[in-house]
Amino acid sequence: MISKGHHALRIVEEPDFKKLIEDVSNCPGYKLPTRKTLSNVLLPNIHSELIANVKEKIASASGVCLTTDGWTSLTNESYIAVTAHFIDKSNMELSSHMLACEAFGERHTSLNLCSFLQSVAADWKILDKITAIASDNAANIVSAIKLGNWRHIPCFAHTLNIIVQKALGPIDSVRVKAKAIVECFNRSSSGFKKLKEINSQLNLPDLKLTQDVPTRWNSTYKMFQRLSILKDGVMVVISLLRPELVLTQAEWEIIDGVLPVLKPFSEITTEISAEKNVTLSNVIIMATLLHQSIAKAIPKDDFLRAVVEKLKEQLTVRFGDLENNILYAESTILDPRFKKRGFRSDECYEKTVAALQCKIAQTGLVDNVADDLSSQIETVKTSPTKSGIWDEYDKQYNQITKPSCNTAAAIREVDKYLAEENINRKQDPLIWWTQRKNVYPRLYEYALKRLCLVATSVPCERLFSAAGEIVRKRRTLLTPNKVESLMFLHNNM
């Protein structure tokens, strides 16, 4: 209760809580543990037990994807968090766990960050299981991931936000004015109350205006959207309170005109940030959908035209080479919802399929039919021989024939999988693979390593939302070790 609800450890010593437990307890004479016992014995015991459970789960995973990010607490302590994502074979669901959220007193250099990630991976015994690491686009963490010889997944949601922020330059004057209007209502209680009254009289929704924060994804879109919905009420009240902030008709047209342009970016950011769904296999097709959406946009003025052109340019720069990235390409092909449909380039698709066939051939698995046939042949020809004249032939046979069987079997398996009809986009690809793991044994094992990959570092962002509740004004004396312990319990129980 304490870790999940962000309650203070001293709750067990508060008179009213003691009275509550005494009133509802069916155990006369029961005494709550002291704060010291809770902090030094009970929580550490549960923490150790939970670590063992998570380690057991991760040990059975075929592949693990990590996400990492940094955070500075209210007490000015710097923390680095790491989350792990893998497919739990027991229920074929994407499982997510926090591995670390540690105080990091050293400089955030690439070398120091790399050492930290290696230490976490070693502690959890996943050095040989890490398939990729997702993070934001900060140069130090990107370099740290490369130093560790891991594959890097740039946070898709963070990249989308960068694209939108860069594209909004031509309408920055309107944006600044809109932010000033929102700030005016947020800071003035009388203005806020007046806006609610006017909105009620005009039968407008009882909504608050949303402030634009560049680092908060989709906040510009949400700010413009709320202003557009409450337009009539805002115009009335702002003309009375701050006439200099009144938006012109042309400025309102820019706000209304940019909303349908930004809406697809908002929708995709929300969808790709899901933690329990397969996400990386969506990225290529989502980038394509964004290209198509922007291509259909018909700007009404030069400002909006400049925004649209900038979006097109940024989408090409940031996502133009996605299909050549083996992680994105293989994830898309191994998602039974998409396969070839996710690709715009036939050349990239064919190249990825060929590479996939080679990798599957190296798994060492042999078809059941081939196994049965081999055993039958072995039974027929088991006759002892002392001659060594056939030794060289047998050696060559084992080196050449078996690999070719594996290669042929791998090609057949991949081709058979690709020939199957795509499933509906709303179906769960993990359930589909569960049902066909015996039909495609090689692909199944490899799919577990690709479909666990996450497209964003959102899981770490969510960790820090919880961390802000743990380290707050009334809990500033918590040590970093205690913060980490409470974070681990909150996110893994």
- Domain range list for the chain: 9-155+457-492, 161-320, 326-375+393-450
Residue with tokens 């009970």: 42
Distance CA 300, CA 229 (A): 20
Q: What gap in Å lies between CA 432 and CA 241, rounded to an integer?
A: 59
Q: What is the pLDDT of residue 381?
A: 41
pLDDT on residue 196: 93
Q: Which long-range contacts (CB under 8 A, 24 or more apart) does 219-223 make?
A: 220/164, 220/165, 220/168, 220/175, 220/262, 221/164, 221/259, 221/262, 221/263, 221/265, 221/266, 222/266, 223/178, 223/179, 223/182
CATH 3.30.420 fits 9-155+457-492, yes or no: yes
Q: What global pTM score does this model have? A: 0.85
The rounded average pLDDT for each run of 10 residues, N- to C-terminus, in the chain (493 residues) is 83 88 80 88 91 93 93 79 92 91 89 96 95 93 95 95 94 95 92 92 92 88 96 93 92 95 94 88 94 90 93 94 94 95 91 92 55 35 53 60 66 93 93 93 93 92 73 64 83 82
| Cα(225)–Cα(24) distance, integer angstroms | 49
- Can you read off the two tokens belonging to residue 211? 């402030």
40: DSSP letter: I
How far apart (Å, rounded) are the C-alpha atoms in residues 468 and 421? 47
- Distance CA(167)–CA(139), nearest Å, equals 22
Q: What is the pLDDT of residue 39?
A: 87
